[in-house]
Amino acid sequence: EVQLVESGGGVVRPGGSLRLSCAASGFTFDDYGMSWVRQAPGKGLEWVSGINWNGGSTGYADSVKGRFTISRDNAKNSLYLQMNSLRAEDTALYHCASNRGGSPWNAFDIWGQGTMVTVSS
Amino acid sequence: QSALTQPASVSGSPGQSITISCTGTSSDVGGYNYVSWYQQHPGKAPKLMIYDVSNRPSGVSNRFSGSKSGNTASLTISGLQAEDEADYYCSSYTSSSTNVFGTGTKVTVL
């Protein structure tokens, strides 16, 4: 079964850090680009970051550039998002998604159920 | 990285056709054929419905179709059914090497 399972969310204070993980199974992970997409409670989807199949190309939304870092470990079929200097506006459900093709600019094909990040004092 | 513009809501009766628009600029929707559409039911993860402007993934009903003209992309749902009631989002690649989503449209089946 094709599956993406996120973990690592939780409650953190403003200025704190969290590392999200996404475990992939059921498909050839290193053939595909991967992305993180978030959704604040009651709000729409927001693209956060993407990485190509071998980790050689990454992209970030302006809202997280310089604070978040995306990475992947193809040997472990895993995607990561290191989040530093967290702000209240980063509170959201964070989904990982695989892209159609090796680039993160293609459509988001498979989605995980998400992990919740809450930034609050 | 401004969000693409979608109508907040669209409604139709069962069996009717509805169209959802997604307006961007020449730096995103108008400049690339990397436009995709997603369906999201409450409490669920989004589901890919259309990719590369007009292509349907395997398993998606042919009642869903996509198109693009200039800076505006469109999703048409024909033969509207109760299970089509959901939120719909468009997405596009941008000239800044990022992706951007639309503001989202709530589809109501009357």
Provide the percentage of residues in chain B whose pLDDT is more than 70: 100
Provide the percentage of residues in chain B whose pLDDT is more than 90: 99
Res A102: pLDDT? 85
The 10 Å Cβ neighbour count of residue B110 is 9
Q: Identify whether the C-beta of residue A112 lies closer than 8 Å to the C-beta of residue A5.
A: yes
Dihedral sign, CA of B47, B26, B53, B95?
Answer: negative
Residues of A in contact with B102 (CB under 8 A): 44
User: What pLDDT, in 10s, does the model give residues B33-80?
Assistant: 999 999 999 999 999 999 999 999 999 999 999 999 999 999 999 999
Cβ distance B48 to A35 less than 8 Å, yes or no, reads: no
Res B1: pLDDT? 76
Res A103: pLDDT? 86
User: What pLDDT, in 10s, does the model give residues A55-70?
Assistant: 999 999 999 999 999 9
Cβ neighbours of residue A18 closer than 8 Å, sequence gap 6 or more: A8, A9, A10, A12, A83, A86, A117
Q: Which residue of A47, A93, A110 to mutate against B (max B Cβ within 10 Å)?
A: A47
Low pLDDT (below 50) residues in chain A: none
Cβ distance A47 to B52 less than 8 Å, yes or no, reads: no
Cβ distance A47 to B3 less than 8 Å, yes or no, reads: no
Cβ distance B101 to A46 less than 8 Å, yes or no, reads: yes
